Structure 1
Amino acid sequence: MAFAEIISIILRLAELAFAAIVAGLNGDYLHASKGASAWHLGRHIYTEVVAGLAIIFAIIWLFPFSGSFIHWPADLLISAMWFVAFGLLVDWIGDNCGSVFDWDGISFRGTGSCSQLKATIAFAFLSAICWLVSAILGLYWVRRHTAPVAPATYHRRRWYRSRV
């Protein structure tokens, strides 16, 4: 089952890269908005925390061994956290920068906060998908490699038979 291990490593590397990109872009936005209330930056702080947790767990679970597949519930939880961060950021950006999925006018020059926020949203979604696929792969691997447990059978001794 080396194919599953190779796919798992590729997914972990993608998760690590996407989380690092989100952490960097979102951290730059948080740094630029110094002095704002933590209440108003709550969505971005949550996204930064999720990105930090994703970086930590992606590094820890990057090492290839069969035990890395049993973490599929945590992968599913982190995927849900990424989807929540994605939804919070999409709700926050609203129509201020045009449609969230309208990528016209995005450029690499300058420090346009709209393009930076749209990139953060896109990479948060990509990270959520990678964590979800990793959870599905882990669930598949665990289901395939665990032997079904036979029910315990108890034999009653008949009362009329002796041990002798």
Structure 2
Amino acid sequence: MILSRLVSIFLRFGEFVCAAVVLGLSAHFLHQYDKYGVGPKGREIYAVVISSLSVLLSLVWLLPFTSQFMHYPFDLFISAAWFAAFGVFVNWIHRLSCGGIWRWSGLTNGGYCSQWKAAEAFSFIGACFWLASALLGLYVYHKLGNRNAVTDGTHRRRWGRSRV
């Protein structure tokens, strides 16, 4: 149980870092849109909303509570939202003249394409962290949570109707 908590803390910290990077880049893109009218505003707003929500939830769920593995459905939902954000970034990169989405040469220039590809990469990494967190929560909740307390020699039922 301690190993799963340590892995969970590592995953939550990774989720926070990726969300913070994407939040910063997306906020920069929104600023550039307001200043120069360049970029897809709807995509940027979506990325800001998802990354803001992820920063908040990853910080709250970083605290070690006994019920921290119970919200794996939310982790799975946020992972899907991050994969959608990754798709949004990939779709926009196709419209730019930045090369293919897997062409990573020349990223140290600090240009517009480098920033979009960084947002794309961190959104994918963040989605993987959220998915791993959901899978860990699913494993811990269903496998390790099945150890029912035995008080009188009988097992308690977790769900369903009472036999009383």
- Report the TM range for the smaller structure's normalisation: 0.7 to 0.9
CA shift at 1:25, angstroms? 1.2
Distance 2:101 2:86 in 1: 11
Greater shift, 23-32 or 115-124, is seen at 23-32
Distance 1:115 1:65 in 2: 39
Q: Which amino acid aligns with 2:142?
A: R
CA shift at 1:149, angstroms? 2.3
Q: Which amino acid aligns with 1:42?
A: G
Distance 2:32 2:91 in 1: 20
Q: 2:72, 2:134 within 8 Å by CA — same for their partners in 1?
A: yes
Distance 1:90 1:116 in 2: 13
Structure 2: which 5+ residue stretches go unaligned? Answer: 149-155
For the pair 1:98 / 2:106, whether they are aligned, the reply is no
For the pair 1:123 / 2:131, whether they are aligned, the reply is no
Distance 1:47 1:33 in 2: 14
CA shift at 1:90, angstroms? 0.3
Q: Which amino acid aligns with 1:23?
A: L
- Number of aligned residue pairs: 151
Distance 1:10 1:133 in 2: 11
Residue 87 of structure 2 is matched in structure 1 by 87
Distance 1:132 1:103 in 2: 24
Residue 152 of structure 2 is matched in structure 1 by none
Bigger Rg over Cα: 1
Distance 2:24 2:38 in 1: 20
CA RMSD in angstroms, aligned pairs only: 2.0
Q: 2:32, 2:38 within 8 Å by CA — same for their partners in 1?
A: no
Give structure 1 regions of 4+ aligned residues with deviation exceeding 6 angstroms: none
**Identity of matched residues, %:** 40
TM-score normalised by L of structure 1: 0.85
For the pair 1:138 / 2:146, whether they are aligned, the reply is no
Residue 159 of structure 1 is matched in structure 2 by none
Q: Which amino acid aligns with 1:129?
A: C
Alignment of 1:34-49 (within 5 A): 34=34, 36=37, 40-49=40-49
CA shift at 1:37, angstroms? 8.8
Secondary structure of the 2:98 match is coil
